[in-house]
Amino acid sequence: MSANKESILKKLADAVINFDEAAAMAAVNEAISGQVDPVEAITRGLTAGIKEVGDKFGRGEIPLPFLMLAAQVMEKAMNELLKYVPEDKRPEPLGVMVLGTVEGDIHNLGTNIVTAVFTAAGFKVYNIGVDQPVENFIKKAEEVNADIIGASALMSNTLQQQKFLGEALKKRGLRDKYIYMVGGGAFPGEEWCRECGADDYATDVMIALEKAKNLIAERKKRKAKK
């Protein structure tokens, strides 16, 4: 199974790299019938492919239209795989999350994965979309009484918005009311997380989920003590 799994993951990545939709959908079918975990198919297959395409684009080896084609193939294959993520049927949500991509940034493949995987794991997720000003994250969080605010940024010139959001929460005296998580492909790491005043960060959805569950559990414990 595992050699076969690795070959399916490679087919998924290659299909994105070659922006070959037919090959991508064939590999998706193989993944589903081969019982490859759909989240792994996305994070280790399709995502590996799109990252390679992004690197080629960054080195000037391919033009933007090719990057766009690859992103479309990734999105179509991802949406099909997400249908197979098993749903958690708990009566009460594990937590409420407001998630979005920061102002100036229109990348949403990552936040769509986070939305689907967190929802399947039992979270109620309000995905407010792309290019969202700091104000909108806070407004939505207040409106739905969120536990977690999650902000995604993919570009070096939009990362600063994650810091602005942390600062805005502090300024309004709301910082302790919410768990604040940051993530996205451009994420520079631990130190940036601290600079944003965030509770935690992740550049992989399954790590994000583990961290979110732990933060929620800690928060519940703290509340129970009070």
Among 85, 197, 203, 219, binds ligand B12 (CB under 6 A): 203
Within 13 Å and on the Cβ side, how many CA atoms surround 21? Answer: 10
What is the distance between the alpha carbons of residues 208 and 164, in angstroms, rounded to a whole number?
Answer: 21
The site string for ligand B12 over 3-42 (x = CB under 6 A, - otherwise) reads ----------------------------------------
Among 4, 35, 61, 68, binds ligand B12 (CB under 6 A): 68
Selected range binding ligand B12 among 19-27, 165-173, 202-210, 213-221, rule: CB under 6 A? 202-210
Q: By CB under 6 A, what part of segment 93-112 binds ligand B12?
A: 104-111
**CA 44 to chain CA centroid, nearest Å:** 14
The site string for ligand B12 over 136-165 (x = CB under 6 A, - otherwise) reads --------------xxx-xxxx--------
Please identify, using beta-carbon distances, which residue of 8 and 184 lies nearer to ligand B12: 184
Triad 73, 101, 37: Cα angle to 5°? 45
Selected range binding ligand B12 among 29-37, 65-73, 171-179, 213-221, rule: CB under 6 A? 65-73
| Number of CB atoms found within 10 A of residue 116's CB | 22
Among 20, 37, 57, 120, binds ligand B12 (CB under 6 A): 57
What is the distance between the alpha carbons of residues 114 and 154, in angstroms, rounded to a whole number?
Answer: 14
Q: Are 113 and 42 in contact (CB under 8 A)?
A: yes
Please identify, using beta-carbon distances, which residue of 183 and 226 lies nearer to ligand B12: 183
Please identify, using beta-carbon distances, which residue of 8 and 77 lies nearer to ligand B12: 77
Taking the complex as a whole, how short is the minimal distance between the CB of residue 90 and ligand B12, in angstroms? 21
Name the phi and psi angles at 82, rounded to 5. -65, -25
Measured over the CA atoms of residue 5, residue 8, residue 10 and residue 13, the dihedral's sign is negative
Q: Cite the DSSP H helix spans in the chain.
A: 2-17, 21-33, 38-40, 47-58, 64-82, 109-120, 134-144, 160-171, 190-195, 205-225
Tokens of 40: 């792994």
Q: Compute how many residues bind ligand B12; rule: CB under 6 A.
A: 42
Residues that bind ligand B12 (CB under 6 A): 43, 47, 50-51, 53-55, 57-58, 64, 67-68, 71, 104-111, 113-114, 150-152, 154-157, 181-186, 201-205, 208
